Amino acid sequence: MFLLWLRVAAVLYGVAGLLAIPAVLGNRPKGHRFCLPVALGAWFFHLVATVEMMAAAHHLIPVMADEIASTLGLAIVAIFLLIFFVWRTISFGLFALPLAFLLTVVPAIGPNHYAFGSPLVRNGWIAFHVVMLLAAYAALLFSMLSSFLYLVQEKRLKNKDWTKAGMTPRPKTRPRGFLTWLPPLATMDQIARSTLMLGFFCMTAGLFAGSVIAKEDVGIHYFADPKILLSFVMWGLYVAILFIRRNAGLRGRRAAWLSSGVFVVMLCVWAANLLGSVHSSAHRFGLK
């Protein structure tokens, strides 16, 4: 019975995590009204599932990998709720709720080794996993490129090249024709922020699909691979960057360096995953 409650908790964590994004990054106080009740409901069902799980296993301390992952998710959300009720801030929900979802969704699938009903469904999940992660890399690349173009355009304006800014050029000022194709500063900043957000959604979806696929192949021990753990750390850094950029109002040079740093780290993580124990054998994923 605990699997039913755990699955309900995983679904509610996913919904609460989606609601937390506009509530935090969009600075919409009304989002608290929907996000917090859903998170509380998810935590309640998660608590019931954990108690029943331990009772069925006849021990009080989590021992198995799925028990540890589920209990860790429960503790993370408990601390998040405590922070909210004491300091009245939902900002940490941007980290806690999606992480709790990722920690509970794999144990919620159940102890069965195979999760897919047919090879066609399995291959669909694999394709979705790959496409989403590649889309995340592509989106971050455009975010970095937009940030650097922002710097170029800003330098043009400081050098009094007013042509593309929509202003009247001053006498004796010659426009630099090669750079007249650059869009306005506001447009590039919006592109950088939007593509960064798009990459976050794609990375979250890709990690979720990868977790489901790995549950079929290697079970919960998927999380024992250090390179896989590095991917989730990368996801956490991605969330932190979104949060910092939104609240600190980063633009220009700092935003460009921030996006560049994340892109380089993501490439390193991607290269490491290709050499990891989960991704190294193509036949595990039906790709050989």
Helices and strands in the chain, H and E counts? 8, 0
Q: What is d(CA 93, CA 279) in angstroms, rounded to the nearest whole number?
A: 31
Q: Which of 107, 106, 104, 108 is nearest to 96 (CA)?
A: 104
Max mean pLDDT range (24-33, 138-147, 216-225, 231-240): 138-147
Q: What is the mean pLDDT of residues 31-48?
A: 89
Please give the helix or strand (H or E) that residue 77 lies within, else none. Answer: helix 65-87
pLDDT value of position 15: 92
Give the chain's mean pLDDT.
76
pLDDT at 180 over 80: no
Share of the chain above pLDDT 90, in %: 17
What residue spans define the domains of the chain?
Answer: 1-111, 118-288
Q: What is d(CA 57, CA 174) in angstroms, rounded to the nearest whole number?
A: 78
pLDDT at 196 over 80: yes
Please give the helix or strand (H or E) that residue 264 lies within, else none. Answer: helix 252-274
pLDDT value of position 164: 46
Q: What is the token pair recorded at 31?
A: 């989002």
Please give the helix or strand (H or E) that residue 35 lies within, else none. Answer: helix 31-57
The one-letter amino acid code at 227 reads K
Task: Note if the pTM is more than 0.85.
Answer: no
Contact residues for 24 (Cβ-Cβ < 8 A; gap 6+):
31, 90, 91, 93, 94, 243, 246
Tens of pLDDT, residue by residue over 54-63, are 888 888 888 7
Q: What is d(CA 220, CA 84) in angstroms, rounded to the nearest whole number?
A: 31
Bigger pLDDT: 152 or 227?
152
**Helices 65-87 and 2-24: crossing angle, nearest 10°?**
40
pLDDT at 173 over 60: no
Q: Which of 130, 261, 257, 140 is nearest to 197 (CA)?
A: 140
Tens of pLDDT, residue by residue over 126-154, are 899 889 988 988 888 888 888 788 877 77
pLDDT value of position 79: 96
pLDDT at 170 over 70: no
pLDDT at 215 over 70: no
pLDDT value of position 284: 46
Residue 125 pLDDT class (50, 70, 90 cuts): confident
Q: What is the mean pLDDT of residues 73-84?
A: 94
Bigger pLDDT: 81 or 221?
81
